Structure 1
Amino acid sequence: MKPASLHARLRWLIILVIAAVLLPLGMYSYHRTIREVDELSDGRLAQSARTLQVLVEHAGTNALRGHAAVGILVPIETSAVRSRDTRDHTFESEVGFQIFDRSGHTTLATANLASLPPPAADDAQFRDVRQDGYTWRVFTLQDPADSIVIRTGERYDSRHDITHAVWLEHSLPLLIILPLLALLVGWAIRHGLRPLESLTRALSTRKPGSHEPVLLPDAPLELQPVLTALNEQLVRLEDALERERRFSADVAHELRTPLASVMINLESAMATPDPAEVNATLSSAQHGVAALARRIEQLLALARLESGAASGQRTAVDLIAVALDVVEELAPVIADSGVELSVAPLASQLVIQGYEAAIAALLRNLLENALRHVPAGGQVQLSIEQGEHEALVDVVDDGPGIPAERRASVFARFHREAGSRGDGFGLGLSIVQRAAQLHGATIELLDSPYGRGLRVRVAIPLSS
């Protein structure tokens, strides 16, 4: 089933809402009008009876007594009365009256009600009776002073003519207006949805990789938050795609050389008959594969941080516990480096809100970077303190240090300082920087208190 368009959905919803309001309102108005017509017609019957009562009083009841035996019959015109306004309708036959004396004899009556029997003493003032195949609404007026009973009546089909007129008056406008209203609503919705059409055109003509925001002149207030969120999402998407492209290029660049070295060593081992040379080349190949594994691990760690894989729900992280775990993990590396690692007295606990994996990567790479640049016999110190609003992580070494004018460039990926020791790949401080960004932390490269070397300070907010 084809889904309905937003235009059609809005149009039918508006029409249904209008119909849901107008139809009950029309029914209520119709029934109220009918009730008012019935009350007005009943009042007219009562007024006619009292008018006859006054006329009889002025004429005197003696004028009617002489005809009590046979009664006076008022003729009724049954032929259609032609009138430009009444459209050939017989009115006289639809109303009538009766006057009875104290004995219940008819003294005066219209021809259409002459045969209707006199009312009983307990009859209500207003009643519905059947006469000559019609239902009549009659009003009975008892006059004890003159000992006469007056009864006036009106046929219900006369009232039905009014009912039909009222029904047409209430229904025809709805039947005419609703289709017209549907057309007007459709036009209004099309006009109101033009900004969405403009947005669709802007998105369909947007060039891939463009960082330009989507702009709609005179965008409605309701659409402006959508545009803002859409532009923010497009920026994040383009950044993610750019990171993926950059990561792919970096991986291809960084893995090409070690892979080529491993392949050369393996080919040499296969080509030489000397067992000693085979063992040497295989050892070199093994060393290259190990270096390649470490490089891939760092690249993946950097990719996870840059893609925001760690940016889910923050949790409480004990910075002290993570630091001790990292030092224990690096114990073999520390032993092989010949560098003395000292840990300043730490508090029992220092809790921050963050991502444990990212904090561990930050500490691990800070220590590895220091151990790689400090010569054997040097020293590295790790200290963690709680400031007023942040946790301060300091890694201090007495290595060659970095000149102040080059410190800003060391955070670039694959950047390596000249003369650095070890087989690093220039990714350590990039990982540190990304982990710090995830926590809103700041990184400073300062002079070492040892007189030479470097001091890296990371200030991590305690809460964010």
Structure 2
Amino acid sequence: MIIRSIRLRLLVMISLSILLLWGTTFGFTWWRTSRDINLVYDAELKLVAELLAVATEHELEELDLEDYQINLSESGYDFPLLLQVWSDDNKLVIQGPGTPGYVLTSSVDDGYSDSEFDGEGWRVYTLNITQHNYRIHVARGHAVSEALVSSFVQDVVKPLLIVLPLSGMLWFIIQQGFRPLRSVSRLIGERDYDYLNPVTAEHIPEEVADLVDELNALLKRLKVSIERNNRFTADVAHELRTPIAGMLVQMQSSVTGRTDAEREKGLTQINKGLNHLNHVVNQLLILASIEPEKIRMQFEVFDLISVAEDVMSDISPMALSKRVEMELIADDQIELNGNREMIAIMLSNLVTNAMKFTPSGNKISVSIKTHYKGVKLAVEDSGPGIPDDKKKWVFERLNRLPGETESGSGLGLSIVKEICELHQGNINLQDRKDETGLIVNLFLPQLRES
């Protein structure tokens, strides 16, 4: 069974740890106590056997061994040990009170042995009196030592049993420990698509601090994504409303036109509106596709000059129709680490924008040069330029210069700026010296491959 509750899992794990500790303590205490008590009892058996040997030798010398046996039997003492003295002809010479008449162990060598009789286990110590050819057996039942071990271990372990009922308090302790997490959960529950502020709970546990940080980073990315989508929706609504309304008017005019010229004029305006609408939609789709995290994962090293040549080749029909000369000033090859498709869109927007404002018979110059730790790119046109107070303003979406006659979406330079910043570059506008026109300067750092 999988326990999904962290609190229940902690309770089970801690309880099992307590039981394991208790069991280990009990087992170790039992083993150590049993060993020590058995060592003491073994020493006692040996000591009694040696005392019995001394007494037996003394009685043998006094020749009153039978009197010694009678006195031992009639002493009235309750001996915890079994005592036997056997002669070399296997005759039981001395028998302690309560001791059976048969031999206690089959071992005849000096030392300890374990035996079983009367349904009980016994520990027996054997000692040979070689000079008199007698053998002594002293035995103690295992039950005696085991009872003492059990009593001692219980006295030691009983205090530990108090821990088991106290383990019931663990649930309360764990509940209290999870209070900061419940606070964080409450704060997360308050978040909504229109309220994505970071979670800033006090006393956040160190164990979940990283999780909260990652969550805040996710909320930030989500907020940026939602704001991007909201802007995109607003841009679409703003940019599509006017051309569509205009084309509807022109459509009505074409249908109701009295002459062929009026109908043709309406169709021409519709065609122009559709072209403009197509351009706007393409620009909006480009804006919608600019997802920084996704695009950065597609960075690669490519030849920037080759990309510039392809862009200028695609725009060349427009340049021919407008009689505008295009010039590319660059080295044979300049490598850049970035997103090839986005860089191509950025260059296309820059050159197309320059083409839009450059009068017929003039020139557009594109310069690409290696710079300190990066690439410097400049697009120069011969148009009317941009006033200083509008140079930053034109980078905002949907902003077009007052009095601008060329059709456009107002999105071109904003797309350029976003792509430039996506590559950690910077962009600025400056007027041409001694001539009319505008120079768009970009610097793109040579980012390391990730």
TM-score (norm 1): 0.87
Distance 2:236 2:74 in 1: 115
- Give 1:74's aligned residue: 73
- Residues 381-434 of structure 1: CA deviation (Å, up to 9, x unaligned): 001000121100010112111122221111011111134342111111100110
Q: 1:379 aligns with which of 344, 363, 367?
A: 363
1:74 partner letter: S
* Pairs aligned (count): 448
Larger mean Cα displacement after TM superposition, 407-416 or 316-325: 316-325
- Give 2:247's aligned residue: 262
Q: Measured at CA, do residues 381 and 20 of structure 1 come closer, stay the same or move farther in structure 2, by a change above 3 Å?
A: farther
Distance 2:176 2:64 in 1: 78
TM-score (norm 2): 0.89
1:115 partner letter: G
SS, match of residue 440 in structure 1: coil
The 8 Å contact of residues 129 and 138 in structure 1, kept in 2 or not, is answered as yes
Distance 1:75 1:395 in 2: 129
- Residues 258-289 of structure 1: CA deviation (Å, up to 9, x unaligned): 11122222233333464444343233222212
Counterparts of residues 22-421 of structure 1 (less than 5 Å): 22-24=22-24, 26-58=26-58, 61-66=61-66, 74=73, 92=78, 94-117=80-103, 122-123=108-109, 125-165=111-151, 168=154, 176-181=162-167, 183-206=168-191, 208-210=193-195, 212-272=197-257, 274-305=259-290, 308-344=293-329, 346-421=330-405
Distance 2:55 2:178 in 1: 72
- Give 1:86's aligned residue: none
The 8 Å contact of residues 243 and 307 in structure 1, kept in 2 or not, is answered as no
The 8 Å contact of residues 76 and 112 in structure 1, kept in 2 or not, is answered as no
Distance 1:454 1:76 in 2: 130
Percent identity for Structure 1 against Structure 2? 30
1:374 partner letter: T
Q: Measured at CA, do residues 119 and 186 of structure 1 come closer, stay the same or move farther in structure 2, by a change above 3 Å?
A: closer
The 8 Å contact of residues 443 and 456 in structure 1, kept in 2 or not, is answered as yes
Q: Measured at CA, do residues 5 and 448 of structure 1 come closer, stay the same or move farther in structure 2, by a change above 3 Å?
A: same
Larger mean Cα displacement after TM superposition, 431-440 or 20-29: 20-29
Distance 2:35 2:146 in 1: 12
Cα offset, 1:347, TM superposition: 1.9
Larger mean Cα displacement after TM superposition, 360-369 or 333-342: 333-342
Larger mean Cα displacement after TM superposition, 92-101 or 374-383: 92-101
Distance 1:118 1:222 in 2: 67
1:349 partner letter: Q
Cα offset, 1:132, TM superposition: 2.9
Whether 1:460 aligns to 2:440 is no
Whether 1:8 aligns to 2:3 is no
The 8 Å contact of residues 97 and 110 in structure 1, kept in 2 or not, is answered as yes
1:96 partner letter: L
The 8 Å contact of residues 71 and 107 in structure 1, kept in 2 or not, is answered as no
Provide the alpha-carbon RMSD of the alignment. Answer: 2.9
Q: 1:428 aligns with which of 412, 415, 423?
A: 412
- Residues 284-329 of structure 1: CA deviation (Å, up to 9, x unaligned): 2222122111101101101212565423242213211111111112
The 8 Å contact of residues 310 and 357 in structure 1, kept in 2 or not, is answered as no
Distance 2:107 2:191 in 1: 92
SS, match of residue 330 in structure 1: helix
Distance 2:20 2:341 in 1: 58
The 8 Å contact of residues 375 and 399 in structure 1, kept in 2 or not, is answered as yes
2:277 partner letter: L
Distance 1:451 1:259 in 2: 39
Larger mean Cα displacement after TM superposition, 220-229 or 231-240: 220-229
Structure 2 unaligned runs (5+)? none
Distance 1:48 1:66 in 2: 20
2:81 partner letter: V
Structure 1 unaligned runs (5+)? 79-91
Cα offset, 1:28, TM superposition: 3.8
Q: Measured at CA, do residues 334 and 22 of structure 1 come closer, stay the same or move farther in structure 2, by a change above 3 Å?
A: farther
Cα offset, 1:367, TM superposition: 0.7
Distance 1:433 1:147 in 2: 115
Larger mean Cα displacement after TM superposition, 100-109 or 289-298: 100-109
The 8 Å contact of residues 108 and 126 in structure 2, kept in 1 or not, is answered as no
The 8 Å contact of residues 401 and 454 in structure 1, kept in 2 or not, is answered as yes
